[in-house]
Chain A
Amino acid sequence: MKYYGRLIWLFFRTSVQEEAAFRLNFAINILTTVLNLGSGILGLLILFNQVETVQGWTFPQTLTLLAVYLFVLALRDLVIGPSMNALGGIDGEVWTGRFDYTLLKPAPLQFLVSVRKWRIWAIVDLLLSLIILAVALAQLQQTVTWLQAGLFVFSLLLALLILYAILLILASLSFWAHGVPLDFVFNSFIQLGRYPVGIYPEWLRLLLTWIVPVGFMTTIPIQLLTEDLSPGVLLSGTLLALFLFWLASHFFRASLHRYASASS
């Protein structure tokens, strides 16, 4: 509906205005992106200086993984990350008590808290990670069919949906566990996705693929491009994503109920 579209546009515009208010922000953003990218790639170079492969993954392949990892994170940082952080993160609304104002608004709450805050600089991160992805794929001398590319994009969308569901659950948990920055904890766990999930011990790998689906978000899209993955994996992934989304929405509602029963 036009109402929702207009609201998204207004939220986007507000975030742009906030970020553009400080010129220094621009320089800081560039520095952060460069440092992030640089340390990621350097880290890989240091590792591959000593070995040829990591669990059968060569340098270009691992570089592809890094690119996808950064791409997914950039997608998160575009809107759902900042919005969820504004809700349940450190200095977020639940933390500071300003959530009451949000509760008073006559608009669907899940919609409001999900698209409220944008970080346009993430677009630069998106583009840069795509460039690295292209470079890495070229080094692999991999030809990618249209079908593979399509499935790749689809798996990224799944990754985004899974990420959204997890972030929503974590933000909702902030209503219950006062003062524990769970999204910070999760962001730490996400770092495990920098490397192919196969390097971790079996129990951790299963955990990272199905329960905290970090592995699903990064390793699997890559495998879609470079190997032939059985359709069963993509199907289970879709089911997982849908299930998590349903779970997250319900848990969010339940957490609101708790907030309205227990806060003072």
Chain B
Amino acid sequence: MAAQILVKDLQKNYRVPEREEGLRATIRTLFRRRYREVTAVNDINFTIQPGEVVGFIGPNGAGKTTTLKILSGLLYPTAGEVCVAGFIPWQRETEFLRCISMVMTNKNQLNWENTAMDSFRVLAEIYRVPPRQFQETLAELTALLDMTELLPQMVRNLSLGQRMKCELVAALLHCPQILFLDEPTLGLDISMQLNLRHFLAEYNQRHGATVIITSHYMADVTALCSRVILIDKGQLLYDGDLNQLATRIAPFKLVKVTTGLEDDMTQRSTLLASLAPIATVLGENGRQLTLRVPKEKAAQAITCLLTQLPVIDISVEDPPIEAVIDQVYRQGISP
């Protein structure tokens, strides 16, 4: 299958004005501005097939939003090639614009002082959506998102979550092939987040639309994205399966053990000493014990614990993905 999105050697630099603190510096900038060159995107390459759901992750300021904006044609890159659905994004051809859509966090495209339905009608006209298709798409989207009662309401009276639903509908009215989502679940309550994830997965299933989503909530990424692209300081650090990334960075299991009343502390410490080469104690709280064990040694360690300690409860978990990603943000990935 031909790649739908192709990015090659992408580069984007900016000039950013800067100013030191203090009154003297403030007055100096009245007459002369100082600039700093910032590389937002540095030599990024990837391809995305139609229908994929890809997550862009990375610390704040890593270059994710910049990359997204280049892909949607909002920004010119400093260097590199980009091909989206057969078009060059920043040439902004009408056909290209009609097959993509973008939802940005904290910025509404809906008319604040009007009803959602009115905004949808105007958008449908701008995108030249035939009336029949408009009705069908609208019906489908409002059913999926369960929001028919929101349509005749003024946008300014809607809550954040309700507004997000309307923004999504607005973005999908013209059935785009590619959907860019920049932090769509930011600030939403838990139920709404789950709702949206479910909706996006469903939409992707039904229509085969390619979805690129940036998010700081790992739950979004784990639930929706089979593939993640990790960007940090403008560079692509990882491109592939999220679980494999976790395994690569933190190939551990966390074993939590609670022992019964018969637990003898001395027996426990000897056991832990013997397990020391493979198991690291992360925390001890009375009769609760947390150990970190390499994945391949996990079975062995667990068997030891179960046979030699009066265990009444045991749980085995992967390290929280947030901790893994946090480590990547702070320490990078060793090749």
Interface residues of A (CB under 8 A from B): 3, 6-7, 10-11, 14, 17-18, 21, 96-98, 100-101, 103-107, 112, 257, 260-264
Contacts and interface: CB of A to CB of B under 8 A. Distances in A.
B69 A100 contact: yes
B46 interface: no
Interface in B58-102: 66, 69, 72-76, 90, 92, 94-98, 100-102
- Of A112, A260, A262, which is in contact with the most chain B CB atoms at under 10 Å from its CB? A260
Contacts of B318: none
A106 B122 contact: no
A11 B122 contact: yes
A10 B120 CA distance: 11
B113 A106 contact: no
Contacts of B154: 21
Q: Is the interface of A mostly helix, strand, loop or mixed?
A: helix
Given A7-B126, A261-B75, A17 B97 contact: no
Contacts of B92: 103
A10 B111 CA distance: 13
Contacts of B14: 262, 264
B104 A14 contact: no
A21 B97 contact: no
A100 B94 contact: no
Contacts of A3: 125, 128
Nearest to A262: B14
Interface residues of B, number: 36
Contacts of B122: 7, 10-11, 14
B107 A98 contact: yes
A262 B92 CA distance: 17
Interface in B128-183: 128, 154
B308 interface: no
Nearest to A264: B14
Contact of B100 (A21, A97, A104): A104
B114 interface: yes
A21 B127 CA distance: 27
B58 to A, nearest CB: 15
